Amino acid sequence: MITAASDVATDVLVGTLRRLVECESPSADHAAVARSADLVAALGEDLFGRAPERIVVDGVSHLRWCFGAHTRVLVLAHHDTVWPLGTLARLPFAVHEDTLRGPGCFDMKAGLAMALHAVAGLEERDGVTVLVTGDEEVGSPASRALIEDTVRGAHAALVLEASADGGALKLERKGVSLYEIVVHGLAAHAGLEPERGVNATVALAHAVLAVAALADPDRGTTVTPTVARSGATTNTVPALATFSVDVRARTVAEQERVDAAVRALAAEVPGARLEVRGGVNRPPLEAAASAALFQRAQHIAAGLGLEPLRGAAVGGASDGNFTAGAGVPTLDGLGAVGGGAHAEHEHVVVAELAPRTRLLRALIGDLAADQETP
């Protein structure tokens, strides 16, 4: 067990974080992500004494350190950000009093710095795996299979996404389903013979209302029609229309209910046809997946003399959805305290970096030493 004496210097964490922030890594720029991977690999090699396994999938660079023959604890982070190249010139890395700023500092390069230093300080790393992916901000298309393969058989997954408001850990994340609904109609001249057409816009309107009605606020299920497009010219009965749908659900059962209902939709306009594309993107991180780990983290925090931990349920998704969906107990939001993810006011509370890293180190060590599931 790691004790409070196993401290982590704040200035060291800030120094690592500065290097990470100043290496810009927008998800869509694979060359920039590769440069960031070079830096993360070098930092990890210095701290761990070994180079990572570098895994490139569809041009995206991921890194993995496996300590021991079997993974008991997966420490999961990502090094890509939403900020385009050049943002650093406008929003440079800076520390003012107790606040640190810079693109990607909160989401989630602080969490990555914490993960590296937490694992580096362990007396025993056997059973610990560190996975750093490069495409989380765009939905993890190139890393999902890698995450699910790496976490298979693990006792726990610890996700270094930033905390919720006030430093709360993220105990629930809604699952995400994404759809594009295509409405097929028939074109005709809108002035001369509209009756010969099948109006895709009218069919779309019916479908949008039907989809929106699938929401269940009492269960926390949101079903939101978003981008819509229809028609080609103003004097033509539209033959084609599309709209996108964002679904967030707290449970697998709700996600499956909405999915079945969306696929069962029928066009209300005679002659029109609906085509449903997409589906479940990320399963939910349900409360049951995090409960035991949160209780364990609370006990460790108390032993370290830290403030009592708080938990929160959030609507946004992370790679923790995948680890929970794989049946592995998952605790998320272990990263930085601060705010402004994806926004101009993104920031990290410097004073919380070291205590959160001590907590993370102790939790990893405790889990790795335990041969039983948490």
Active site residue 80: yes
Q: What global pTM score does this model have?
A: 0.90
Domains of the chain, each with CATH number or no CATH: 10-173+284-369 (3.40.630.10), 175-282 (3.30.70.360)
Given the residues 24, 107, 135, 136, the one annotated as active site? 136
> Over the stretch 106-152, which tens digit does the pLDDT of each residue have?
999 999 999 999 999 999 999 999 999 999 999 999 999 999 999 99
The answer to whether the beta carbons of residues 279 and 244 sit under 8 Å apart is no
Residue 226: is its pLDDT beyond 70? yes
Name residues whose C-beta falls within 8 Å of residue 159's C-beta, 6 or more positions apart in sequence. 76, 77, 170, 318, 319, 320, 323, 330, 331, 332, 333, 334
Residue 374: is its pLDDT beyond 80? no
CB neighbours (10 Å) of residue 72? 23
> Over the stretch 75-116, which tens digit does the pLDDT of each residue have?
999 999 999 999 999 999 999 999 999 999 999 999 999 999
The sign of the torsion formed by the CA atoms of 104, 105, 107, 109 equals positive
Tokens linked to 323: 């680890």
The angle subtended at Cα 123 by Cα 118 and Cα 124, nearest 5°, is 95
CA pair distance 352, 300, nearest whole angstrom: 16
Predicted confidence band of residue 373 (pLDDT cuts 50, 70, 90): low
Predicted confidence band of residue 8 (pLDDT cuts 50, 70, 90): confident
> Over the stretch 285-304, which tens digit does the pLDDT of each residue have?
999 999 999 999 999 999 99
Active site residue 319: no
The DSSP line for 6-71 is S---HHHHHHHHHHHHTS--BTT-HHHHHHHHHHHHHHHHHHHSSPPEEEEETTEEEEEEEESSS-
First to last CA, the chain: 15
Given the residues 24, 80, 135, 286, the one annotated as active site? 80
Predicted confidence band of residue 2 (pLDDT cuts 50, 70, 90): very low
Judged by DSSP in three states, 346 sits in coil
The DSSP line for 157-168 is EEE-PPPSGGG-
> Over the stretch 315-363, which tens digit does the pLDDT of each residue have?
889 999 999 999 999 999 999 999 999 999 999 999 999 999 999 999 9
How is residue 286 annotated by DSSP? Answer: -
CA pair distance 172, 248, nearest whole angstrom: 12
